[in-house]
Amino acid sequence: VAAALVADLAAFRDRHRLDRVVVVNVSSTEPVPDPHPAHARLEALSVALCEPGTVLPPSSLYAYAALRAGCPYVDFTPSTGARLPALAELAQAQRLPYAGHDGKTGETLVKSVLAPMFAMRNLAVRSWSGINLLGGGDGASLAEPGANAAKSVSKQRVLGETLGYVPEGTTSIEYVADIGDFKTAWDLVTFSGFLGTGMRLEFTWHGCDSALAAPLVLDLARITAAAHRAGRTGPLTELAFFFKDPLGDVDHALSAQWEALRRFVTGLE
Amino acid sequence: VAAALVADLAAFRDRHRLDRVVVVNVSSTEPVPDPHPAHARLEALSVALCEPGTVLPPSSLYAYAALRAGCPYVDFTPSTGARLPALAELAQAQRLPYAGHDGKTGETLVKSVLAPMFAMRNLAVRSWSGINLLGGGDGASLAEPGANAAKSVSKQRVLGETLGYVPEGTTSIEYVADIGDFKTAWDLVTFSGFLGTGMRLEFTWHGCDSALAAPLVLDLARITAAAHRAGRTGPLTELAFFFKDPLGDVDHALSAQWEALRRFVTGLE
Amino acid sequence: VAAALVADLAAFRDRHRLDRVVVVNVSSTEPVPDPHPAHARLEALSVALCEPGTVLPPSSLYAYAALRAGCPYVDFTPSTGARLPALAELAQAQRLPYAGHDGKTGETLVKSVLAPMFAMRNLAVRSWSGINLLGGGDGASLAEPGANAAKSVSKQRVLGETLGYVPEGTTSIEYVADIGDFKTAWDLVTFSGFLGTGMRLEFTWHGCDSALAAPLVLDLARITAAAHRAGRTGPLTELAFFFKDPLGDVDHALSAQWEALRRFVTGLE
Amino acid sequence: VAAALVADLAAFRDRHRLDRVVVVNVSSTEPVPDPHPAHARLEALSVALCEPGTVLPPSSLYAYAALRAGCPYVDFTPSTGARLPALAELAQAQRLPYAGHDGKTGETLVKSVLAPMFAMRNLAVRSWSGINLLGGGDGASLAEPGANAAKSVSKQRVLGETLGYVPEGTTSIEYVADIGDFKTAWDLVTFSGFLGTGMRLEFTWHGCDSALAAPLVLDLARITAAAHRAGRTGPLTELAFFFKDPLGDVDHALSAQWEALRRFVTGLE
């Protein structure tokens, strides 16, 4: 299968006479795959892919094919994608950049500015709970428990990284067909200030995920292509601005990510 | 009157053997005063204050007395305070720092992180409307139309400065005795993204203004005292982090203000 | 002017060979008019209308013309309409029914079920505050202070009538062009229960006023025509289900109004 | 065990020289028990209780003991309680009344007035989704999956019964220690009106369950005692006003339940 995908990508590039193709994963969220020894080393993975049986989840199989075909790879979902040691090795061998994970379009975007606000003002966040109601294909996919678990982990990461501690509370996801391609997210934050005074913030975000994602996908394709042209290889940690669960040990506050992105893009020009 | 206030401040400093006294205005919001020719120059103001009649609103009279007594002055309210050319002249002559205006404790604090988020993502804010319900003495005072107008202007300033344009919508303030010293603020933001898709964000902030203000007032007193000790004079624009309507032509995004504050405080040590 | 309107209505009825025409006022809200001595008696009003000058606001002029032309009249707005002693006299003389005031389409509809809930459970409502944000022609009209005042009075009436006391708080109305023909209403209710425990309910209603009003207008036209056919005259107090500010000393709880409406309609068949 | 409980209840009644004792179950929610053949007939149940092993869940064991001791029984929880054919038989044999299930204190109370509102206006409810965040002992218990399932079924019943159809959506329950004995419930209702226009209602209920439950428990004890005194036996379906999941085939609209309660109580006097 991998060889066929590589051939498809190469044929597409040739047919349209393109300098480069950036592969962006925008398919539905996968469950976390079972571990496999071939994930650790490129050589073992290459061998295993020639044998019958499933070694890689689809997102990683496409990442493998993209990198083999010489294409930078961007993961806009919380799926595994290029996040395996064997694929990092492949990207390095091919001298290709890659980026991810999980486009930060709505509720997590809001979290990434509110959580630093609480931290800057030294207000202790006691709990942060929320629910996401969404329809459409993405909603149907996330209602599946495995995908749901992968997504929820990605969504709460910003809190621990920004606050320095993890408040109680979880984010649940529910499929509601009537909401269609929009998503309604409700969050309740309880926090305490001077002398332990308890206070609350609630918000409701009603956004169209596709309309929020599309310009980010376009920017990611352009910036990743520019990074490739400029000879950048490996994980593009400077693109954390776009992701809920960014690669590398990076700042999760949106303003810091914005500054990092500006510097990166300016350096590519 | 001014001379009596000066004497009181000096006596307080002497009685407690203090190196310095920082005067912080936390009284109720005043209406915007009528213009007066003596506001423009210190000499004219000093003469006018010796004559019968009211030249300055209370907040500015206290600012005058503080500066005459050699005390730095901080305005935690939207009142006029030290914001008159004659008082800037006096601060310079006395080699004193001053800061203001209007402590950023709740709804505007949230605005100062959400508005940059919309700007960074190039989401066009179409309208931003809100209502503040509050009881207590502050609520009773703000229900008075003059004070209300002064406050509302201060609260919307962050949007124009951060977004680069002023969306439609206003912030209204209503006195509700039952809410007491807490404040409930509700805001509705409508915005549009890719292909003009309309989306919405609502939030409800339920905070205790006194508990939110107290640590800011303590920090302002300490930092302003440190600035005085370090020989800083004139408007302390680096303290914009604390204020809805900060002095000077400064960034209104909270994260930028936080960086400016960190640099300032580090430089004082 | 009145005579021309009467002639228009009669011509319309003749041209379409109709048994009866019901006139429904769905125009924009008017300010409350100044009192005029001719409002009290039909004879004085008839004389005054023949002289130059404005005696009646437009809604009442149309009500006068409708009744003169033999048409039942329904007021779907908070304007004065048929609510003048002289016009009640005219309806009686013409043996015509009339109904009003102010279609109960959104926020007040919700109030008319929540307020009885608090009363039935003996929960003391401490405050009920709200804001309505709306665009469109209706929003622009209501942003005018006179119309705004007429509307706000109409909107709060349900609370006093249902609870037996008037909690603190007001309903404000703001024009936000971007919201268009939809209306977003936010209400905060504070209440207390056993041992004085303070609690809260918030709701946000996002409705399309036209889509909510249209079926009510159709039902009102049909039911009022049926009442006319059945020989009913004077104020139709049984139609309180449809109105924020109903005619007569009637129950304001929606369920009681629904029962009254069912009995009324069944009695007409 | 049952005999000991019977003896305790009788001793309590004698010690305080009481005419009657009403037993009210306010303990934590139980999971739905496994079926057992002895649930169907009193005789089989009485035999089974003399043998080792668990036949009844605690709520039903207490109901059995209460009825054996001649005490009316009220179930303020969604647990099984007296809802077994064998126990209905026992109540009949003892000529005792009983009531239940699951006190309607907060979110479901609001549903029981909003759902009839949509029905009366012929607005089609498309989805009704919600989340309950609560701490305290009740929250900890409901976070347990079995109890959670029992509760969620009880909470959604009002929609199907009132609307005549079941809209999509679920109610989830999450334990958040920081919220303590208060509960924050958020609901989103999507509905459509004239020409299919989509609209939305959101509400947040922030209530103290204990303060909401206490007066209902007192009223239930008094009314059930009065019913016993008046010779009423079997299920008290007229007390549906108090319950989420009432006994019998009754109206679920709060106003109809209120009328039924008034008639019932008046009839007992």
**Residue pLDDT tens, chain D, 269 long:** 889 999 999 999 999 999 999 999 999 888 889 999 999 999 999 999 988 888 999 999 999 999 999 999 999 999 999 999 999 999 999 999 999 999 999 899 999 999 999 999 999 999 999 999 998 877 777 777 777 777 777 777 889 989 999 999 998 899 999 999 899 999 999 999 999 999 999 999 999 999 999 999 999 999 999 999 999 999 999 999 999 999 998 888 899 999 999 999 999 97
Residue A263 has pLDDT above 80, yes or no: yes
The residue-averaged pLDDT of A70-93 equals 96
* Mean pLDDT of the residues in chain B: 93
Contact state of C129 with B188 under an 8 Å Cβ cutoff:
no
- How far is CA C50 from its chain centroid? 29
Give C197: exposed, middle or buried? Use CB within 10 Å, 0-12, 13-18, 19+: middle
Neighbours of chain B (3+ CB pairs under 8 A): A, C
Interface test with A, best of B199, B209, B251 (most A CBs within 10 A): B199
Dist. CA B79–CA B64, nearest whole Å: 14
* D201 contacts in chain C (CB < 8 Å): 110, 203-206
Phi and psi, residue C132, nearest 5°: -115, 125
Q: For residue B36, what pLDDT is reported? A: 93
- What is the percentage of chain A residues whose pLDDT exceeds 90? 79
- Which residue of chain A is at minimal alpha-carbon distance from D128? A176
Dist. CA D148–CA D29, nearest whole Å: 8
CA distance C206 to chain B (A): 11
The answer for residues whose C-beta is within 8 angstroms of residue C33's C-beta and 6 or more apart is C56, C57, C60, C80
Q: For residue C164, what pLDDT is reported? A: 92
Under a CB-based contact definition with an 8 Å cutoff, are residues C182 and C207 in contact? Answer: yes
Dist. CA B221–CA B23, nearest whole Å: 8
The residue-averaged pLDDT of A154-175 equals 89
Give the global pTM. 0.92
Buried b (16+ CB within 10 A) or exposed e, B86-111: bbbbbbeeeebbbbbbbbbbbbbbbb
Low-confidence ranges of chain C (pLDDT < 50): none
Residue B214's pLDDT band, with cuts at 50, 70 and 90, is: very high
Q: For residue B153, what pLDDT is reported? A: 76
Helices (H), A16-77: 42-50, 58-68
Q: For residue C236, what pLDDT is reported? A: 97
CA distance A173 to chain D (A): 10
Residue B145's pLDDT band, with cuts at 50, 70 and 90, is: confident
E strand or H helix that includes residue D131: strand D124-134
Lowest mean pLDDT among A136-140, A262-266, C110-114, D129-133: A136-140
Dist. CA A191–CA C212, nearest whole Å: 39
Q: How far is CA B78 from CA B45, B157, B251, in A?
A: 22, 12, 19
C-beta atoms surrounding C178 within 10 Å: 19
E strand or H helix that includes residue D208: strand D198-208
Residue with tokens 């929880």: D77
B186 touches chain A (CB under 8 A): no
Q: How far is CA D21 from CA C5, C170, D14, D27, D74, in A?
A: 74, 47, 10, 18, 11
Under a CB-based contact definition with an 8 Å cutoff, are residues C251 and C263 in contact? Answer: no
The residue-averaged pLDDT of A12-17 equals 97
CA distance C127 to chain B (A): 7
- Of the partner residues A168, A172, A176, the one whose CB lies closest to the CB of residue D178: A168
Residue B16's pLDDT band, with cuts at 50, 70 and 90, is: very high
Q: Which tokens sit at D232?
A: 């009423």
The DSSP code for C139 is H
| Chain D from 8 to 37: CB within 8 A of any C CB | none
Q: Which tokens sit at C71?
A: 């048409």
Q: For residue B29, what pLDDT is reported? A: 86
Q: For residue B213, what pLDDT is reported? A: 95
